[in-house]
């Protein structure tokens, strides 16, 4: 279907009279409601006519109804208008940002590690090589220690377990069997 001049004029006339896009599509035939809406917007007709024609139509439609029923203006005037409910916006609580160099608060994951594993890690960290990021290789333990934003940050650097990124002590902390983690939560 193409938009011929005749079809466009019919569309403009029906749109100006206040017909819906569905009614116009049915009247034109071979076109969908969405195609009518698209054409209306492309033509810049999206605002309905509010001039004398629209006002006369509305008054003509309202006149028979008004004559048939007695005026109910006093009831409507006596009824107070209610204000729309004001719904407060949800408050988002942000976690505090800890500046670099400050100690971190206790982490929940640290509480899940067994005391034996922590003792082993502390002993290993005393003998660690304390290497920088640039000194890491495939064979060194990549366990980070300290705050990365400070000069006191380093990696363990001991020999890593085959196929793992960490040394034996840090593997014991990082890779725990599922059952052991489940048992600690209970």
Residue-wise pLDDT for 113-125, tens only, equals 667 777 777 888 8
Query: Of 99, 124, 101, 103, whose CA–CA distance to 174 is shortest?
Result: 124
In the structure encoding, which two tokens stand for residue 143, read together?
A: 């366990």
Q: What is the DSSP letter of 154?
A: E
Mean pLDDT of all residues in 32-52: 80
Amino acid 102: pLDDT: 67
Quote the pTM value.
Answer: 0.36
DSSP reduced 3-state for 159: strand
Q: Are 140 and 131 in contact (CB under 8 A)?
A: yes
Domain residue extents for the chain: 5-66, 110-185
Farthest CA pair distance, the chain: 100
E strand spans, the chain = 144-145, 154-155
> Whole-angstrom Cα distance, residue 15 to residue 157?
77
pLDDT of 55: 47
Structure tokens at 57: 């139509």
């Amino acid at each position: 279907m193409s938009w011929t001049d005749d079809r466009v004029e019919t569309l403009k006339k029906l749109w100006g009279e206040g017909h819906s896009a569905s009614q116009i599509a049915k009247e034109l035939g071979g076109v969908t409601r969405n195609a009518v809406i698209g054409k209306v917007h492309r033509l810049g007709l999206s605002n309905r006519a509010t001039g004398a024609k629209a006002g006369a139509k509305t008054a003509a439609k309202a006149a028979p109804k008004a004559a048939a029923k007695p005026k109910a203006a006093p009831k409507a005037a006596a009824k107070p208008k209610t204000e729309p409910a004001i719904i407060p916006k949800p408050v988002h609580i942000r976690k505090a940002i800890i500046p670099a160099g400050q100690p971190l608060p206790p982490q929940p994951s640290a509480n899940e590690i067994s005391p034996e594993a922590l003792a082993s890690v502390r002993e290993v960290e005393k003998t660690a090589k304390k290497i920088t990021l640039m000194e890491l290789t495939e064979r060194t333990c990549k366990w980070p220690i300290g705050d990365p934003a400070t000069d006191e940050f380093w990696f363990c650097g001991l020999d890593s377990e085959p196929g793992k990124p960490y040394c034996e002590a840090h593997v014991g902390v990082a890779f725990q069997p599922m059952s052991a983690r489940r048992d600690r939560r209970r």
